[in-house]
Amino acid sequence: MAGKIVVLEPSYLDLDTFDFKGFTAALCEPDAPDIPPVDFEVPLRYTDFLYFSHPDNIPPFPVMGYNPVIENITISYNGQTSTGNWLFDTGAQSSFISTEQAFRLGLVDADGEPIVPPDFTLPVGGIGGSTEAPGYRIDSLAIDTLQGFKLIYGHPSLLVGDIGIIDEQTGEPIILDGVFGSNFLDMSFTLEFDMADSPYSHIVIDTVRGVLGFDLKDIFTPPAHCGDPNHPYPAGDINRDCSVNQADAAILAEFWLASGCDPNYACHQADLNGDEYVNLLDLVLLQQYWQQSSWPPQCGDPGYPWLPGDLNRDCRVEQTDVLSMLDEWLSDDCDLLNWNCAGCDLNKDGTVNLVDFAILTQEWLTCTHPAGC
């Protein structure tokens, strides 16, 4: 799969006709014309756990070679947070956190015994047998995107269990912080058989650039960001921050005089003229586009944040936000799939009520717009 693009298409079920299409995957070349565009991306780091000879490592192993890891996933529960690096595993039907992560959230004690009664249990196991893993519906799960905002799942369901192997050099166990499974990508069902559709049309795994891309369905609109159709990456923007500056020059210097820079190699990003070499021609192009930017200060950028209560994301808390909240008043089905009732469920407890209105009024008439108010 290295050097390829994997395009995943979530399952689809029409409840009226019961027309069903299963989760599919397509392996593409990096220059394939039919790779769908994505709305935002999450960086991936590839790692391996090749420790097959240790006597305590009994197959099947949790990972067998280079595998994608999503770094700095932050989970929260009842005011406690924990951050870890999770294995991205499309073959996992459920997502896991380690007992250490669960301990930091106050769900289990230091020995892994539940402090908070589990919301559910599921049988998990392999050739060695199965066991009942406790599961919890925590408050949130957040992932940083390359576009500067966070991908947030509200009230996700996670199992608790340790998945890992023994490090042959130290003899210590290597425990995964978590496993980000396909239940965060595909349609899913609760134990009560309530269905949640996937918010994504496609998920794109780009092994060349080391990113995981998400193509949102048309009913969702991601925030404006660097790289969207209105703010394309300028030519010469090697690090994809929508500005051609010293950071791009540093990357060019890192790969200076590299050759063979086809899409399978990291130096491809610095090969601005596409001749598979990083040399003076690329430096000339970088100078030509120097200081170009497609991303002026925007409402929501660092320094100009959206405030709690700024429901329409115009960096002002005013009457229009109150009217938006009235449209969702007393809604009690707020979750990820409806963007927490169009953002009106400010405390993310599933209901739009006086608590949310109180949060809105705390920032009443406050303005953070870069152009002023």
**Most confident stretch, 147-161, 170-184, 285-299, 354-368:** 354-368
Q: Is the pLDDT score of 129 beyond 80?
A: no
CA–CA separation, 357 vs 252, rounded Å? 50
Question: Are 176 and 73 found together in one domain?
Answer: yes
- Looking at the fold, whether 355 and 366 belong to one and the same domain comes out as yes
Structure-token match 């408050």, residue found: 139
Range of the domain at 168: 5-216
- Tell whether pTM > 0.75: no
| Contact by Cβ (8 Å): 333, 125 | no
Residue 223 lies in a domain: no
Domain co-membership, 157 together with 246: no
Q: Are residues 270 and 310 in the same domain?
A: no
Is 226 within the bounds of a domain?
no
What CA–CA distances, in Å, run from 214 to 7, 91, 291, 298?
10, 18, 29, 22
Among 24-28, 190-194, 270-274, 328-332, the range scoring the smallest mean pLDDT is 190-194
Task: Express each pLDDT in 219-258 by its tens digit.
Answer: 556 667 777 777 788 888 888 878 888 889 999 998 999 9
347 & 258 share domain? no
Per-residue pLDDT at 111: 87
Judgement on whether residues 57 and 157 belong to the same structural domain of the protein: yes
Q: Is the pLDDT of residue 85 over 90?
A: yes
CATH at residue 247: 1.10.1330.10
C-alpha–C-alpha distance, residues 239 and 242, integer Å: 8
Provide the domain count of the chain: 3
Residue 175 — very low, low, confident or very high, per pLDDT cuts 50/70/90? confident
Q: Please report the pLDDT score of residue 169 as a whole number.
A: 67
pLDDT at 108 over 90: yes
**Segment 337-349, tens digit of pLDDT:** 677 888 899 998 9
331 and 366 fall within a common domain: yes
Q: What is the pLDDT of residues 11-68, one digit of tens each?
A: 766 555 556 567 788 989 888 888 998 888 999 887 765 544 445 555 444 444 467 8
Residue 137 lies in a domain: yes
Does residue 54 form part of some domain? yes
By percentage, how much of the chain surpasses pLDDT 90?
Answer: 33
Ordered alpha helix ranges (H), the chain: 99-104, 246-254, 280-288, 319-327, 339-342, 354-362
Among 96-110, 257-271, 356-370, name the one with the lowest average pLDDT: 257-271
Residues 312, 370 share a domain:
yes
Do 120 and 262 reside in the same domain of the chain? Answer: no
Q: Name 368's Cβ contacts closer than 8 Å, sequence gap at least 6.
A: 299, 304, 305, 306, 307, 315, 316
Residues 195 and 67 in one domain: yes
